[in-house]
Structures are given as structure tokens and as C-alpha cells.
Amino acid sequence: MTDHPPLRSYGRLKSRPIKPRQAALVEARLPELRIRPGPVDPKALMPAATEAWLEIGFGGGEHMAAQAARRPDVLILGAEPFTNGVASAVRHIDEHGLRNVRLHDGDVRELTARLPDGAVARVFILFPDPWPKARHNKRRLIQPAMVAELARILRPGGRLRFASDWADYADQALELFTAHPAFAWAAARADDWRVPPADHVTTRYEEKRLGDCAPVFLDFVRG
């Protein structure tokens, strides 16, 4: 029997043409920022890092860059297949002089498969593609296999944040993460999922309010 590759959980890879100045910056900087093929050892990427975080689908990179600027002691790995988003992230990294960010410009599942068990302390999944039509729900990133993979790469006590402005996706994510024995939902009261966490950085996508509900923030702890 032939194994089938996982369904692509993201839409288009490029929208508008990248401006020449930004394209030149990507050409100059992305090779040094890109995570190279093969097994990924966060300690080898940044020996002085106290821990490693992962942002899945970083969009334009503003949240990732802000978190990296706040915590220069932390190595932040970012995965994003959207070409324009990668170009935007490279610009943010260059403008802020960040030295603690590494990028995977492709499907995050290619990256997580190369990470060892317990490699990261935090995971951010902020406003992933909602695939709102019922027939497309199977393309959503958060599926049982992905939840299991995230449990594998998160260290005990690590934290994962999922945010969405689509009510049924938030419900689906909550159901799948709490069904996995490794994850516990950290919420104690309604404001814990209704109010942005203190360390949250609002993204451009979030400001557009394209979903069908106010943003929902779900924080989970790895047991």
C-alpha cells in the first residue's frame, strides 16, 4: 500500500509580487536564517539559548519578531509556507537586528518531523487557515496526528497557544487537545480565553476580523 502525503493545510503560496527591495533582502538574508535539511538540534542552532519556541504559520512575522525581541535568550523557530509572509518576516528580523530567529519556509510538518522529543518549550498557532467550509475541514492543521506530534516535541511543562476567530475551529481544537492525555487546558475562568493573554502581540490578520466570532485564545500545558 502506498502512503499518501498529508493534506495541505494552507492555501495559496503567494499573492502579490514581492517588491524588488524586499526580494533583494530575502535573497541576502534568508539563506542564513533558513533551517537546513536534516535533524534539527535547537542547541546547535543557538548554543546560548535558554530554550526554544516554535511559531506555526507566522503570517507576516510581526508576532514572531516581537516575541524574539522581548526574549533574546530564546531561540524562536518559525514555519510559514506563504512566500509573501516569509519576505515580511525577513524584513522584521532585519529591521530589529534579531539574531535568535530561524525560519522554515514550508509545511511545518516537515520541520516537526526533524525535531527531537521535548525540543521546544512553547508553541504558538495563531489564527491558522480556518478552512470554514465543512467539506474542507479535513484540511485544517489541528487534527489528531498533529496534536500527537506537538505533544511529542513539547517538553513536560511546555505550553501551547492556539488562537482562532472561527468558533467551530476553536471548539474543534479544544476538543482535540483536551482529548489527548498529554495536554491540559490552562483556563480557570472565561476571561482566560476571551481576553488576549498579557504576552500576546496582535497580528495584522487578527485586526482584520475575518472570522465569525471574537478571537478565542486557548492555552494548554504539556503534562
- The pLDDT score that the predictor gives to residue 188 is 96
Select 20-222's CATH number: 3.40.50.150, 3.20.20.10, 3.30.565.10, 1.10.3470.10.
3.40.50.150
- In the numeric block, which cell numbers belong to residue 68? 524574539
Q: Can you give the residue ranges of every domain in the chain? A: 20-222
Cα 7 off chain centre by: 18
- The pLDDT score that the predictor gives to residue 9 is 47
- In the numeric block, which cell numbers belong to residue 44? 546547535
Average pLDDT of the residues in 190-201: 96
Q: In which band, very low, low, confident or very high, does the pLDDT at 109 lie, cut at 50, 70 and 90?
A: very high
Q: How far apart are the first and last CA of the chain?
A: 36
172-192 per-position pLDDT tens digit: 999 999 999 999 999 999 999
- pTM surpassing 0.75? yes
In terms of Cα–Cα distance, which of 89, 77, 163, 83 is closest to 121? 77
Return contacts of 203-207, CB within 8 angstroms, 24+ apart: 203/59, 203/60, 203/62, 203/63, 203/126, 203/127, 204/59, 204/60, 204/62, 205/59, 205/60, 205/127, 206/126, 206/127, 206/163, 206/165
Q: In which band, very low, low, confident or very high, does the pLDDT at 1 lie, cut at 50, 70 and 90?
A: very low
pLDDT, averaged across the chain: 92
Active site residue 94: no
Q: 3, 94, 105, 129: which one is catalytic?
A: 129
Q: Are 185 and 217 in contact (CB under 8 A)?
A: no
In terms of Cα–Cα distance, which of 64, 159, 77 is closest to 111? 77
**39 vs 208: CA distance, rounded Å:** 37
Query: Is the model's pLDDT at 33 over the cut of 60?
Result: yes
Least confident of 119-128, 144-153, 206-215: 206-215
